[in-house]
């Protein structure tokens, strides 16, 4: 019984640290882009304008990929962390890494990602999403090494 209580307390401790890191990550992701993801997503659902609908999809893919990428990093950090502080450090590193990947993508492409997503280029949003997920997977593997 004591080990079950210990496991539950450990679970709750890591959950209480992980959820805010994910929430802060979402906040940081929305701060580091010039467009407002949640506004684009909201406006896309309240219109018949195909461009706004496409912009909503592109923003949802982009932000969703960053969230999944960070969640993958956090999952690996929870598994490999030696302490809650270790988890916090890897969570911060994961956030920074996701932002850097986005701006590296912006820098190497022949178009401006920050213009394409609010203009409704869903393909760019999907590609940005997949890059974020790939970055999260790589980061998760690097944590475990």
- Structure letter (DSSP) for residue 120: T
For residues 112 and 15, give the distance between their C-alpha atoms in angstroms, rounded to a whole number.
Answer: 37
Q: What is the pLDDT of residue 24?
A: 95
pTM of the model: 0.90
Query: What average pLDDT does the structure give for the chain?
Result: 92
Q: Taking 80 as the threshold, does the pLDDT of residue 51 lie above it?
A: yes
Q: pLDDT exceeding 90 applies to what percent of the chain?
A: 75
Residue spans per domain, the chain: 2-144
Q: Taking 90 as the threshold, does the pLDDT of residue 145 lie above it?
A: no
For residues 13 and 90, give the distance between their C-alpha atoms in angstroms, rounded to a whole number.
Answer: 16
Tell me the CA distances in angstroms from 105 to 51, 71, 108, one per residue in order: 23, 20, 5
Q: What is the pLDDT of residue 4?
A: 87
Q: What is the pLDDT of residue 1?
A: 61
129: its two tokens: 């999403």
With cut-offs at 50, 70 and 90, classify the pLDDT of residue 27.
very high
pLDDT tens for each residue of 90-142: 999 989 989 999 889 889 999 888 999 999 999 999 999 999 999 999 999 99
**Rounded to the nearest 5 degrees, what angle is found at the Cα of 140, between the Cα atoms of 28 and 37?**
25
For residues 26 and 35, give the distance between their C-alpha atoms in angstroms, rounded to a whole number.
Answer: 14
């Amino acid at each position: 019984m004591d080990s079950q209580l210990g496991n539950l307390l450990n679970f709750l401790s890591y959950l209480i640290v992980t959820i805010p890191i994910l929430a802060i990550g979402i906040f940081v992701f929305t701060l580091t882009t010039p467009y407002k993801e949640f506004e684009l997503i909201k406006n896309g659902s309240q219109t018949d304008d195909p461009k706004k609908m496409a912009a909503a999809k592109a923003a949802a893919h982009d932000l969703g990929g960053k969230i999944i990428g960070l969640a993958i990093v956090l999952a690996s950090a929870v598994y490999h962390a030696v302490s809650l502080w270790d988890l916090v450090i890897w969570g911060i590193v994961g956030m920074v890494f996701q932002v850097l990947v986005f701006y590296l993508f912006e820098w190497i492409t022949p178009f401006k990602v920050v213009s394409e997503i609010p203009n409704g280029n869903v393909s760019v949003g999907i590609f940005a999403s997949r890059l974020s997920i790939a970055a999260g997977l790589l980061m998760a593997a690097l944590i475990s090494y």
